[in-house]
Amino acid sequence: MADIIKFPTVKEADKIRSSMTELEQVIKDNLDQLQDINEEIITLTVAYEEMLYRLCEITGVELPSNMDWSEPPEE
């Protein structure tokens, strides 16, 4: 006897479609929030770098122009 594949009823399919639509909206909202967060991180990073350079300028500390992050920092 052959295996019979049970197809969802129209009501079940409608529930699934509805749930998928809700999930799609949640995903879209989260992606929008992620974009906003990324933009804020960029803004904060630029402000931080500006302050760092100004601090170095005030204190006379020279930042290395070619930092090798694979090596531990010298103290």
pLDDT of 72: 72
How far apart CA 26 and CA 39 sit, in angstroms, is 20
Tokens of 53: 């350079």
**pTM above 0.75?**
no
pLDDT of 55: 94
* Ordered per-residue pLDDT tens for the chain, 75 residues: 677 777 778 888 899 999 999 999 999 999 999 999 999 999 999 999 999 999 999 999 888 776 666 777 665
pLDDT of 23: 97
pLDDT of 36: 96
What is the dihedral sign for C-alpha 49, 55, 61, 62?
Answer: positive
How far apart CA 15 and CA 22 sit, in angstroms, is 11
